[in-house]
């Protein structure tokens, strides 16, 4: 090729560069999004999953996400998840002796309340992300979600209420320790209304098969948390109450915290009453007023409850990894929880 003047060389050069870039861009689009690798350093409470195959895709339909629990793959991992309990108890250690890839993120993971978090001081300055039930966690992993239905259901409210409500109130509880605030509320409430109690605390455990059918016979379920902490709302509400179809009477964080994740008319809060006696009287009146009781099922026309295991939430987080803020270090985990 001959150039008539040297002035034509520069535009020509720019054009060639642009074409190369375009070809590369198309090539990259064809190659698809980056595959991310998540390493589960150890399993919470020893409850492991078989991660064989393309786990996230096969189980939860999330492509381009490799989840492994093989510690030998540390250097390839984009994200490493550490569950708090085993760290604070010394059964597991952070791999501080290994060379940590520059872009690798370490995740501090816990579903427990701060009461069980132990001494977090030694773990400050290591973690880039948090994974908890807090809504402002980097990886939000609550015990349950309320999800809008695709279209509003128009069935009569009665169809949402389980048949055979034979008991007024019930509660499944593992410990009736006197130092739990909830125990005092229960002791007082049972002098006003009958309460059926199940669980290890009273040597009447319910297994997976009997749990929900038993609770569904109760008009109300006492979804009382062991300890009261900001946003700490557990399976007491999401599984035992919502999944069984008993109206939850909640005790835990303030009403605002519940309303941030659940419909305001889907539960009764202990704090809504000036005394436990008043709460008991209200429950009696409500159970006798079929129409008013049914109004606590209104939300079920528009919403359903979903419970997702944390591994599913970790898989679903994969596509978001690239768009997370580039740099973050938790220097004070205590202040954060
Ligand atoms: C296209 O991408 C493949 C890898 O995905 C690479 O080997 C190849 O060199 C790329 N081609 C161009 C023209 O960039
Ligand atoms: C763990 O990963 C290493 C390195 O990729 C590999 O050599 C080894 O076979 C893996 N172990 C298991 C149990 O998959
Ligand atoms: C992750 O945290 C470590 C501190 O342990 C820090 O050195 C590193 O730069 C952080 N990485 C990112 C991507 O934020």
DSSP assignments along 177-235, one per residue:
-TTSHHHHHHHHHTTTS-EEEEBGGGTB---TTTHHHHHTTEEEEEEE-SS--TT---H
Residues 155 and 274 grouped into a single domain: yes
Q: Ligand 2 centroid vs 64 CA: distance in angstroms?
A: 20
Comparing CA positions, the residue from 102, 33, 58 lying closest to residue 321 is: 33
Helix (H) or strand (E) run with residue 40 in it: strand 36-40
Identify whether 175 is part of a domain. yes
Instruction: Kindly state whether residues 265 and 128 are assigned to the same domain.
Output: no
Mark whether 112 is an active-site residue: yes
Gap between the Cα atoms of 242 and 195, Å rounded: 18
Has residue 151 got a pLDDT over 90?
A: yes
* Same domain? 198 vs 287: yes
275 lines ligand 2 (CB under 6 A): no
* Percent composition of the chain: helix, strand, coil (DSSP 3-state, to 5): 40, 20, 40
Predicted model pTM: 0.87
**Does residue 188 sit within a domain?**
yes
Nearest CA to ligand 1 atom 2: 27
* pLDDT surpassing 80 at residue 173: yes
Residue 288 lies in a domain: yes
Provide the pLDDT for residue 336: 78
pLDDT at 3 > cutoff 60: no
Does residue 251 carry a pLDDT above 70? yes
**Which pLDDT tens digit goes with each residue over 47-103?**
999 999 999 999 999 999 999 999 999 999 999 999 999 999 999 999 999 999 999
Residue 119 is part of which domain span?
A: 36-143+310-336
Please tell me which residue in 112, 155, 181, 231 is annotated as part of the active site: 112
Cβ neighbours, 10 Å, residue 260? 11
Please tell me if the CB atom of residue 138 comes closer than 6 angstroms to any atom of ligand 3: no
- pLDDT (tens digit per residue) in 265-317: 999 999 999 999 999 999 999 999 999 999 999 999 999 999 999 999 999 99
When divided into structural domains, the chain yields a total of: 2
Q: Are 326 and 104 in contact (CB under 8 A)?
A: no
Question: Looking at the structure, do residues 290 and 192 belong to the same domain, yes or no?
Answer: yes
């Amino acid at each position: 090729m001959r150039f008539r003047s040297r002035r034509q060389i520069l535009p020509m050069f720019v054009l060639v560069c642009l074409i190369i870039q375009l070809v590369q861009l198309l090539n990259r689009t064809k190659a698809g999004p980056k595959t991310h690798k998540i390493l589960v350093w150890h399993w919470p409470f020893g409850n492991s999953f078989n991660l064989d195959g393309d786990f996230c895709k096969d189980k939860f339909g999330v492509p381009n996400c490799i989840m492994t629990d093989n510690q030998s793959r540390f250097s390839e991992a984009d994200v490493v998840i550490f569950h708090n309990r085993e760290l604070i108890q010394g059964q597991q250690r952070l791999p501080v002796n290994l060379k940590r890839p520059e872009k690798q993120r370490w995740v501090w993971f816990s579903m427990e309340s701060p009461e069980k978090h132990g001494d977090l001081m030694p773990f400050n300055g290591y973690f880039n992300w948090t994974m908890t039930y807090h809504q402002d966690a980097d990886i939000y992993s609550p015990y349950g979600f309320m999800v809008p239905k695709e279209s509003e259901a128009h069935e009569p409210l009665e169809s949402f209420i389980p048949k055979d409500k034979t008991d007024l109130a019930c509660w499944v509880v593992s410990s009736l320790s006197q130092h739990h605030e909830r125990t005092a509320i229960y002791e007082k409430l049972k002098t006003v209304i009958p309460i059926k109690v199940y669980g290890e605390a009273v040597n009447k455990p319910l297994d997976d098969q009997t749990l929900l059918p038993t609770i569904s016979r109760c008009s109300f379920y006492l979804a009382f948390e062991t300890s009261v902490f900001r946003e700490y709302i557990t399976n007491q509400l999401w599984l035992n109450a919502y999944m069984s179809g008993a109206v939850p009477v909640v005790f835990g964080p303030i009403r605002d915290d519940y309303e941030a994740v659940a419909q305001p008319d889907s539960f009764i809060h202990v704090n809504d009453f000036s005394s436990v006696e008043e709460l008991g009287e209200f429950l009696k009146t409500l159970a006798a007023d079929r129409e008013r009781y049914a109004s606590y099922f209104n939300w079920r026309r528009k919403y359903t409850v979903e419970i997702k295991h944390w591994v599913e939430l970790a898989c679903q987080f994969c596509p978001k990894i690239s768009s997370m803020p580039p740099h973050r270090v938790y220097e004070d985990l205590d202040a954060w929880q």
